[in-house]
Structure formats: structure tokens, C-alpha cells
Amino acid sequence: MQKQFEFNEDVGGLFVNLIAAYLMVFFTLGIATPWAFCKLERWKAKNTTIDCRKIKFIGEGSSLLGKFIVWYLLTLITVGIYSFWMINKLQKFKIENTVFVD
């Protein structure tokens, strides 16, 4: 049985969340990137259903901040090579912090 995914195309909500996320990152010189990432992931999860079941993103920027610092440093030290691992680790964080609402 294949899963049925549905996504609510809330363009207005996306616009507002993207502007808020970019402003957070800009005005904090990048320090708020983990919170901005989590804000966008919460919006995506809120607008997604799987087999008619709502999902929720429960990740917090505070738990991602330390990881981001280490990942950025490793990416700098390796002249960008670590960015491939960083992308995978960020995806893992996203998946591990997404749950069904019910």
C-alpha cells in the first residue's frame, strides 16, 4: 500500500514565514538560523498530511544551535567538504523530530 501525501499550498503563510525567517537570520547575523529552520519546518509539517494523518514538527532551535556551530566549524575547516554530512545530519534531525499528531 502506498502512502498518500497531501500538501496545502498556503502561499501567504509561506511568504510570511520566509520573511520572518530571513529577518531572524539577518538581524542576528546568522545566530538564529536554527530557530528559523525550525519555524519553516513547523510550517511545512502543519500543511502536510500523510494518509489523512496530520504531522507535527517538534524540533527546537535551542537543541539545534550547538550542532549548527559544530557543523559550521567542520565545514570551514574542511573547506566545504563537511557540508555534505551537514545536509544529511540536518535531514536526520528533521525526520527524527517529525511526528504524527494523533
Rounded-to-integer distance, Cα 60 and Cα 29, Å: 19
> What is the full per-residue pLDDT of the chain (102 aa) written as tens digits?
666 989 988 899 999 999 999 999 999 999 999 999 999 999 999 999 998 899 999 999 999 999 999 999 999 999 999 999 999 999 999 999 999 998
| pTM for this model (two decimals) | 0.89
Q: Position of cell 532551535? A: 61
**pLDDT score recorded for residue 2:** 67
CA 25 to each of CA 18, 42, 52, 70, 99: distance values in angstroms, whole numbers, following the listed order: 11, 17, 34, 18, 26
Which residues, 6+ apart, have CB-to-CB distance to 74 below 8 Å?
A: 82, 85, 86
